[in-house]
Amino acid sequence: MASSKVGSIGEYIREQRTRAKISLRQLADVSGISNPYLSQIERGLRKPSAEILQQIAKGLRISAEALYVQAGILEEREADTDVQAAVRADLLLTERQKQVLLDIYESFRKENEAAGVFGEAGHDTPEQDGKEEVG
């Protein structure tokens, strides 16, 4: 089973690199990994360590967790919402910015769940109570 994961992590890295529109050599340079080694990973010939995956994730500006799941190092968590997926996929945000946004989003979801608010159309939210309309 591990061999199937080795191939899939390489394919996943290649796909992410292609989406980011960077060459193999560019990714090797920014991640600090040799070009031949990175090529072997992408072709499924080498199984990268967690540390190497972290370097690749930084170079691709994606979550190291996504690479860990793909490589079978971490268990996949529940599926992301569209908002979470969009934040994680945004190439213009740093990992820290992504995490802050995701933490805030999750806190709002938990708060609304606890209050029994589920985005019902046409109902005022607690934040709107007592605010005057302008106009």
Q: Is the pLDDT of residue 2 over 50?
A: no
Contact partners, residue 83, CB within 8 Å, separation at least 6:
105
What sign does the dihedral 5-7-12-13 (CA atoms) show? positive
Does residue 27 lie in a domain region? yes
94 and 65 housed in the same domain: no
Q: Which of 48, 71, 94 is the last residue of a domain?
A: 71
Q: What is the distance between the alpha carbons of residues 32 and 40, in angstroms, rounded to a whole number? A: 15
What are the two backbone dihedrals, phi and then psi, of residue 71, each rounded to the nearest 5 degrees?
Answer: -80, -10
Domain with 104 in it: 83-117
Distance CA 122, CA 88 (A): 30
Q: Are residues 10 and 66 in the same domain?
A: yes
Residue 98, CA distances (Å) to 11, 23, 42 in order: 24, 24, 26
The CATH number of whichever domain residue 48 belongs to comes to: 1.10.260.40
Instruction: Say how many domains are in the chain.
Output: 2
pLDDT of residue 38: 96
pLDDT in tens, 39-57: 999 999 999 999 999 999 9
**What is the average pLDDT value for the chain, to the nearest integer?**
82
Residue 23 reports pLDDT greater than 50: yes
**Do the domain assignments include residue 133?**
no
The 3-state DSSP class for residue 15 equals: helix
Q: What is the pTM of this model?
A: 0.54
CB 98 within 8 A of CB 63: yes
For residue range 3-14, what is the model confidence (pLDDT) as tens digits?
444 558 999 999
